[in-house]
Amino acid sequence: MATVDVQTPVEPPAAEPAPALPDYLTDPDATLKDAHAKWRYGRAPDYSKTRQVFTETKSMSHEAGSLPELVQNLVKNWEVEASFKPNLSDWRTVDHENYSFAINGSEPQGAEHMLKLGTYNAIIAPNEYYSPEYSDFASSHKTFKRMMPTFAWEVLEVYSGPPTVSFRWRHWGTFKNDYIGFNNKGEKVTAKAHGRAIDIQGVTVATVNDKVQLQAVRTWFDPMDMFRQIAPDGVVQKDAVDKKLSPDAALDSDCKVEIDQTPRPVETPTSTAALPDRTRSSDSSTSQKADEAEKLVEAVACPFAGSHPKEAVAPFPPTTVEQNVDGTTEDGAWSKIEHPNLPLSPSTMETLASGVQTGIESCPFAERAPNGSV
């Protein structure tokens, strides 16, 4: 009986498992669990209430593992690190060597800039309600986190995927407590809480590396949209601030001086008769100055100033220069400016002839040597 070779089927090699996605893409609270990171206030912040508001009031429900959800988680973890991790080395959501951030086409800034100013100060330009110029990191967080204890964030749409991710987002909360901040004049601005929603939107375009870490982040939005919702009637209280206090301390200080905001008409003088005319000198003033000049020349007694005071203070005669267009004279030499000769007094002629100047002690143009000689 013939035998039949039966070959055992060869199993194809098992496919290598796809690399796991970074936790900051799959978990919105991944960076909050970084036990070895240094936190700004000694421990990781509590985002539980913000996450609850997000779940209850969000406008979009993205499928788990979808690109919009991954982008949403990335940005949420980035916000945690930018706000509460003071050491850039602890940031896991950014490409440290290539990270930059810019708002509304402004000059891109590195992470250190945001760490120094704060996330709010880095994205809001000075205006009549708020100014980074008069706020520091601590005061900026007090200003906005007090007025809106929860400020949720979500991705609305994603227009393109890695390596250039572009998306539209929404940031919202409830105006529960009074807004208190410093405006572009350094005044403390107070807007009463109205209990309604504050809802702003914007667009971001960001490049990412192969680890899906943020590199060049460019965001566009209207920051004044938030302030228009904070003070819809444009009515706010403005107070002068004690400049000796830090911005953080000034927010909580009761020492304030109310600014009179009543419009005042521009005052115009009814008559100019009493105003002195400073454009011309009186004849007596001119005469007095001339007398003083003559006395000064007489006191100097320098022979090179002229023997007569009026000769010394008289205007110098104008110069005359005859030259061609190219700057040369008729004989081809370069022009030389010469003053016309002035008549010299007899005493000056005598001094020049003898070569000895008398009255040297009173001549201001002579320099005295250490031993008294010249």
What is the mean pLDDT, run by run of 10 residues, along the chain of 374 residues? Answer: 61 70 97 96 95 97 97 98 96 97 94 90 92 89 92 97 97 96 92 96 98 97 94 88 75 58 40 40 48 45 41 42 46 44 59 52 42 42
pLDDT the model gives residue 33? 97
Q: Which helix (H) or strand (E) holds 240?
A: strand 237-241
CA distance 204 to 336: 70
**Residues 98 and 209 sit within 8 Å (Cβ to Cβ):** yes
Q: Which helix (H) or strand (E) holds 48?
A: helix 48-57
Whether the full predicted model's pTM is greater than 0.85, yes or no, is no
Cα distances from 1 to residues 4, 8, 302, 352, in angstroms, run: 10, 22, 147, 149
CA distance 266 to 216: 50
Cα distances from 139 to residues 134, 142, 156, 246, in angstroms, run: 9, 5, 30, 9
**Residues 114 and 106 sit within 8 Å (Cβ to Cβ):** no
CA distance 117 to 112: 9
Whether omega for the bond prior to residue 364 falls within 30 degrees of 0, making it cis, is no
Name the residue with tokens 């005598």: 350
Q: Which helix (H) or strand (E) holds 172?
A: strand 164-174
CA distance 97 to 347: 83
Task: Name the token pair of 101.
Answer: 């951030």
Task: Name the token pair of 18.
Answer: 């796809």
Length of the chain measured in residues:
374
* 256 alpha-carbon distance from chain centroid: 27
- Look at residues 173, 188, 182 and name the one whose alpha carbon lies nearest to residue 230: 173
Query: Residue 277 — left, alpha, or beta (φ > 0 → left; ψ -120 to 50 → alpha)?
Result: beta
Type of residue found at 308:
H
pLDDT the model gives residue 239? 87
Task: Name the token pair of 297.
Answer: 């020349």
CA distance 46 to 84: 11
**Please, is 18 exposed, middle or buried when counting C-beta atoms within 10 Å of its C-beta (0-12, 13-18, 19+)?**
exposed
Longest dimension (CA), the chain: 156
Name the residue with tokens 């203070």: 313
**Residues 237 and 189 sit within 8 Å (Cβ to Cβ):** yes
**Residues 171 and 201 sit within 8 Å (Cβ to Cβ):** yes
What values do phi and psi take at 329, rounded to 5? -90, -175
What the chain holds in terms of domains, given with CATH numbers, is 23-258 (3.10.450.50), 288-315+346-369 (no CATH)
What values do phi and psi take at 264, rounded to 5? -120, 140
The alpha carbon dihedral of 33, 58, 204, 198 has a sign of negative
| DSSP 8-state code for residue 129 | S
- Look at residues 165, 154, 172 and name the one whose alpha carbon lies nearest to residue 62: 154
